[in-house]
Amino acid sequence: MERLKELKKILAEDCPGLELRADEPMSRHTTFRLGGPAALMALPKSVSEAKAVLRAARKADVEPFFLGNGSNLLVADSGYPGFVVKLAGEFEEICPEPSPQNEKHLLRAGGAVLLSKMSNRARELGLAGLEFAGGIPGSVGGAVTMNAGAYGGEISQSLLQVRVVDRDGAEKTIPASECGFDYRKSIFSGGGYLIVGALFQLEPGDPAAIQARMDELTAQRRAKQPLEYPSAGSMFKRPPGHFAAALIDQCGLKGLTVGGAQVSEKHAGFVINRGGAVCGDVLELVRQVRERVLAQTGVELEMEVRVLQ
């Protein structure tokens, strides 16, 4: 707590226009719609502010947590006693990027841009390659961090480069080839960089055909996923040689409930907030699911959703 006080003092001196929030309810910032307050949250709206924030955190010896759309995050009921950084302002912008060769079709997006917004903007511009991302409820920064994907597509497939600010407040551009992408992870997974933007290379396409593909994927999601309830998407990683949802279903766990948390009856891989769920409900439900799947199938499930506490 003393370090946070020191951090606030440094930020007030070095970045006077920065938006700071104390005891910010994390239920406002996660798709699960639950979680206690973050002790301190900064919302930098420009690269200069982002640099100042990370330099101040380094000076105060405070480790920042970089928050995207909170779509893969579960926050403890007691909250998070640390420092959260969430991008805003210019980081929510999308713009086509001129290409010197006039051959590449480039789209630049800020780290806080929602994938749904970026997918729709690409469609408007007649650019294909991001149709799969339209239904992923994450931000560009979060999607790059975990190499988000769906329906055969992954964010790394169309990514050219990533613009970051490191923990020392230095700005860097990292080529996609150096990002270490793998299944749901990258070099950014450890939190060493704040992703402030990304550049994508897309293919020209017919907007009507792109929209048709997006509509098709949206229909599939609505038919198979419990989109009407707050959740964090797939709760578990895909075990080698198996599918988590199939194992959970096989064990008869659809509908299993703890408090306000439930294993979705529509998709067993989702844990949903049926109303009034707290983090403790979700974690106890996850514990029971893992225990029963291991006992009945011999497969140990690993959480994909991160727990912040």
* Residues noted as catalytic: 184, 234, 304
Full DSSP string of 126-148: TEES-GGGGG---BHHHHHHTT-
Phi-psi category of residue 25: left, alpha or beta, with phi > 0 → left and psi -120 to 50 → alpha = beta
SS3 261: strand
Q: What's the CA gap between 275 and 79, in Å, rounded? A: 19
C-alpha 27, offset from chain centre? 15
**Quick check: 80 and 36 in contact, CB under 8 A?**
yes
**Runs of H (alpha helix) within the chain:** 2-14, 47-59, 115-124, 140-145, 207-224, 244-250, 279-297
CB atoms within 10 A of CB 5: 11
**Quick check: 50 and 90 in contact, CB under 8 A?**
no
The residues with which 47 forms a beta bridge, in sequence order, are none
Angle value at C-alpha 46, between 44 and 47, nearest 5 degrees: 105
Report which residue type is found at 273. N
